[in-house]
């Protein structure tokens, strides 16, 4: 059930098929449910005996051991039934979901991501390896599809095309009823520019790997939408967070954020643009120009790069909004980052960001002025040194917190900066910064962080862990409610996260955690509503980046 084949060469991890868990809610509840089985025997004569909080394992000679609900054991108690599959898996039902025990691993399938409900009454094993989970309200068929990463990529492409494109901006969608994908709706997001930029990058890498015209067309369409964010504000160098068209219900309605009408009245644009957006734009501009753009597109993009970069530089390394004042997070000024305690938490990250912007601008446009300004910040204002501790952690200084959204911004900024910088001294500092950041993040097994680190450093990057994450991420990207804080097997961290939510001391497997994209907290135990679906971009970006850089290949 957990079969994976990863064969390594000196430089590339070759990835074979894996077993992908899937669920099907059967249309009708059987008239006669099977009885709950509480004692089963395997072919070797070992007996499994169910108790309320444990499963006793009795060997043929009478020796006993037990799987107990608690640390290192079963995640839940209130056990109700057993089933033994032909391949040897032991399935254990409970009032809180169903567990699969095989080869020393215990997997929990719970919540609407996997079951009609969690109150398991009986289990049946099918000859095809599926398990029928009879719960209070329905019967769910859990089965395992043999997939490659390439076939998962196709699945996420189709999912994204079907529900996640709005005027060529690509982001999550809202659902009117929990899990009902037939009633999805697209709406603006605070970070339409960032999410669309990551889609541009994913499709650009895909085009570079496959040469597929479809990938080039998708990257191009999304890039043109990205450029519209700056054009529609009518303010040179100021991209909007998002655009809303007059044909949309929310147009002209009072809602969160700063909304302004475009010159032709066809659009509203959202101001107070964040550094999140600017990070995304530069990230996508560099990758698209290097891998996809023709001469005319490069000229169009470079004109936008000049306007945005000039606006930042000419306004003292800030991003002024419509009112002429810097946006809330559009701040990269030396007097703030180097001297203002209020900006201490952003010193390392924002130094890294603006260095990446300027280096990207210099690379794409060829203008020496951007390179000179870049070196002034890097050396005279010691921004290069600032990057060495860009990742802030609780206890580093007053007010420091573990901000997972900032991790995303940092790794996107590292990507172009380290690809374009050739100065050995500066590269040494940036690589040291990247090394420290990745070593802190390594426990998360995030495929995007791991593969960016490997691409930029040339060092081993825990590619196997990245592959395991790409394999484990569910096909179903609905943000289903997941509740893990009540589990018996987990150790809860003594401190909550920055939103005061409980978190574990290690990330849960993807099938068990609340769904999150790369700005989310992988340690979070509970979350989700079933009222949104993520697009496939967050999976497609690390996959195609890893393929492009030769770290991953299909076996």
The domain total for the chain is 2
Give yes or no: residues 80 and 187 share one domain: no
**89-108 pLDDT per residue, tens:** 999 999 999 999 998 899 99
Q: How far, in Å, CA of 422 to CA of 31, rounded?
A: 71
Residue 405 lies in a domain: yes
Residue 513 lies in a domain: no
Alpha helices in 211-346 (DSSP H): 213-231, 275-291, 295-314, 334-337
The pLDDT value given to residue 11: 82
The pLDDT value given to residue 31: 66
**231-260 pLDDT per residue, tens:** 999 999 999 999 999 999 999 999 999 999
What CATH number is associated with residue 134?
Answer: 2.130.10.10
Give yes or no: residues 160 and 288 share one domain: yes
What number is the average pLDDT over the span 12-41? 89
For the chain, the 3-state helix, strand and coil shares in percent, each to the nearest 5, are 40, 20, 40
Here the tokens at position 454 are 């490997």
The DSSP line for 104-166 is: TEEEEE-STTT-S-S-EEEEEE-TTS-EEEEESS-EEEEEEEEE-HHHHHHHHHHHHHHH-EE
Q: Which domain, by its residues, includes 390?
A: 150-479+529-554
Residue 498 pLDDT > 90? yes
Size of the chain, expressed as the number of residues it contains? 555
Give yes or no: residues 161 and 127 share one domain: no
Give yes or no: residues 74 and 126 share one domain: yes
Last residue of a domain, one of 109, 129, 146: 146
The pLDDT value given to residue 33: 76
Last residue of a domain, one of 146, 167, 191: 146
**389-431 pLDDT per residue, tens:** 999 999 998 889 999 999 999 999 999 999 999 999 999 999 9
Residue 72 pLDDT > 80? yes
Give yes or no: residues 391 and 312 share one domain: yes
What CATH number is associated with residue 206?
Answer: 1.50.10
**288-312 pLDDT per residue, tens:** 999 999 999 999 999 999 999 999 9
Q: How far, in Å, CA of 158 to CA of 163, rounded?
A: 9
- Do residues 98 and 141 lie in contact, with contact meaning Cβ atoms separated by under 8 Å? no
Give 218's DSSP letter: H
Residue 542 lies in a domain: yes
Residue 302 lies in a domain: yes
Judge if pTM exceeds 0.85. yes
The pLDDT value given to residue 3: 36
């Amino acid at each position: 059930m957990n079969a994976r084949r990863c064969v390594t060469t000196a430089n590339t991890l070759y990835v074979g098929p894996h077993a992908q868990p899937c669920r099907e809610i059967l249309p009708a509840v059987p008239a006669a449910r099977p009885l709950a089985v509480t004692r089963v025997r395997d072919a070797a004569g070992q007996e499994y005996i169910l108790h309320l909080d444990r499963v006793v394992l009795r060997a043929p000679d009478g020796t006993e051991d037990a799987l107990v609900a608690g640390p290192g054991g079963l995640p839940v108690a209130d056990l109700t039934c057993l089933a033994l599959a032909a391949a040897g898996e032991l399935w254990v039902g409970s009032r809180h979901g169903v567990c699969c025990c095989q080869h020393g691993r215990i997997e929990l399938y719970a919540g609407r991501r996997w079951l009609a409900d969690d109150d398991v009454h009986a289990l049946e094993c099918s000859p095809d390896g599926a398990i029928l989970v009879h719960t209070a309200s329905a019967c769910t068929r859990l089965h395992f599809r043999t997939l490659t990463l390439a076939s998962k990529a196709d699945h996420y492409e189709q999912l994204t095309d079907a529900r996640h494109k709005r005027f060529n901006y690509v982001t999550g969608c809202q659902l009117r009823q929990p899990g009902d994908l037939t009633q999805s709706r697209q709406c603006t997001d605070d970070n339409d520019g960032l999410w669309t930029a990551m889609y541009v990058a994913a499709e650009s890498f895909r085009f570079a790997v496959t040469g597929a015209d479809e990938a080039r067309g998708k990257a191009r369409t999304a890039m043109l939408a990205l450029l519209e964010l700056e054009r529609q504000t009518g303010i040179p160098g100021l991209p909007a967070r998002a655009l809303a068209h007059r044909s949309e219900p929310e147009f002209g309605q009072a809602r969160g954020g700063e909304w302004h009408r475009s010159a032709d009245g066809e659009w509203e644009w959202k101001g107070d643009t964040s550094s999140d957006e600017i990070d995304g734009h530069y990230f996508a501009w560099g990758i698209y120009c290097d891998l996809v753009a023709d001469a005319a597109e490069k000229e169009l993009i470079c004109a936008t790069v000049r306007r945005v970069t000039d606006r930042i530089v000419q306004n003292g390394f800030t991003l002024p909004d419509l009112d002429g004042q810097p946006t809330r997070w559009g701040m990269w000024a030396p007097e703030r980052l180097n001297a203002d305690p209020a900006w201490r938490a952003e010193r390392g990250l924002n130094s890294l960001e603006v260095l990446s912007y300027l280096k990207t601008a210099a690379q794409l446009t060829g203008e020496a002025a951007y390179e000179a300004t870049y070196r002034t910040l890097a050396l005279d204002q010691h921004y290069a040194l600032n990057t060495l501790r860009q990742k802030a952690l609780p206890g580093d200084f007053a007010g420091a917190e573990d901000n997972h959204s900032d991790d995303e911004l940092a790794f996107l900024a590292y990507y172009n900066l380290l690809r374009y910088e050739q100065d050995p001294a500066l590269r040494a500092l940036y690589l040291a910064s990247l090394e420290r950041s990745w070593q802190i993040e390594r426990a998360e097994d995030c495929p995007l962080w791991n593969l960016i680190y490997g691409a930029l450093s040339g060092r081993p990057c825990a590619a196997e862990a990245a592959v395991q994450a790409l394999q484990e991420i569910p096909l179903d990207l609905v943000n289903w409610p997941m509740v893990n804080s009540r589990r018996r097997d987990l150790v809860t961290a003594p401190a909550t996260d920055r939103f005061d939510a409980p978190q574990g001391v290690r990330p849960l497997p993807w099938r068990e955690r609340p769904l999150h994209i790369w700005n989310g907290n992988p340690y979070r135990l509970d979350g989700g509503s079933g009222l949104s679906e993520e697009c496939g971009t967050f999976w497609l970006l690390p996959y195609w980046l890893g393929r492009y850089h030769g770290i991953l290949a299909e076996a």
